[in-house]
């Protein structure tokens, strides 16, 4: 069985880093059946990051893969909710104890 691919992000994930984030996520999804994203070092995000996350979850679902998030700062969860990325609309990927299995995402 192939091991999970792990990504760790730090700093501010905004439009200026969108291409970098997208490419890392896309490459990781292509490399294994499960992607684990450590958000512990993330200080801030903008809408572009949240859109990349939603696109990654939908793509993983199509491929039968999983995406799990860990160590998501409370401020990031609050900001995501303010932007409409609520537990109900995203399957709770940032809200389930910091990690969420893709199989529960209903996109």
3-state SS of 3-45 is CCEEEEEEEEECHHHHHHHHHHHHHHHHHCCEEEEEEEEEEEE
Q: Please, what is the Cα angle at 68 between 4 and 107, to 5 degrees?
A: 125
Q: What predicted TM-score, i.e. pTM, was given to this entire model?
A: 0.78
Nearest to 33 by CA among 68, 72, 80: 68
Residue keyed to tokens 């192939």: 2
Secondary structure letter of residue 2 according to DSSP:
P
* pLDDT per position as a tens digit, 69-92: 888 898 988 888 888 876 665 555
pLDDT at 94 over 80: no
Q: What are phi and psi of 58, to 5 degrees?
A: -65, -40
Distance of CA 2 to the CA centre of its chain: 20
* pLDDT per position as a tens digit, 36-59: 999 999 999 999 998 898 888 888
What are the CA-CA distances from residue 38 to residues 62, 81, 88, 95 (Å)? 22, 19, 22, 14
């Amino acid at each position: 069985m192939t091991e999970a691919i792990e990504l760790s992000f730090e700093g501010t994930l905004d439009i200026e880093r969108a291409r970098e984030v997208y490419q890392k996520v896309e490459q990781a999804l292509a490399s294994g059946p499960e992607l684990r994203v450590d958000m512990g070092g993330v200080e801030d995000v903008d809408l572009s990051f949240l859109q990349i996350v939603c696109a990654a979850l939908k793509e993983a679902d199509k491929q039968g893969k999983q995406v799990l998030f860990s160590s998501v700062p409370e401020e990031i969860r609050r900001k995501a909710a303010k932007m409409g990325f609520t537990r109900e609309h995203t399957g709770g990927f940032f809200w389930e104890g910091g990690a969420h299995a893709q199989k529960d995402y209903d996109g």
